[in-house]
Amino acid sequence: MAEIINLRRARKAKARVTAAGQADANRIAFGRTRAERQATAAEADRARRLLDGAKREE
């Protein structure tokens, strides 16, 4: 005979698994600290200023 399962428990277990997957994706997308974001922005700003400073005037 087949094993009897509780559908409510199975549904909740599936929801927990999908929520954990979504949490992992969010950690990758939004998991940077303020210092990391500021460092990236400062580096991009420095590179932009360096490039603008090397332009020739016509």
Q: What letter represents residue 40's amino acid?
A: T
pLDDT tens profile 21-35? 999 999 888 888 899
Q: What letter represents residue 41's amino acid?
A: A
| 23 found inside a domain | no
| 8 found inside a domain | no
Whether the full predicted model's pTM is greater than 0.85, yes or no, is no
Determine the pLDDT at residue 29.
81
| 55 found inside a domain | yes
Q: Could you list the residue range(s) of the whole structural domain that residue 52 is in?
A: 28-58
Tell me how many domains the chain contains. Answer: 1
Position 1 pLDDT exceeds 80: no
* Cα–Cα distances in angstroms (integers) from residue 6 to residues 10, 19, 20, 42, in the given order: 6, 20, 21, 54
Cα–Cα dist 47/50, whole Å: 5
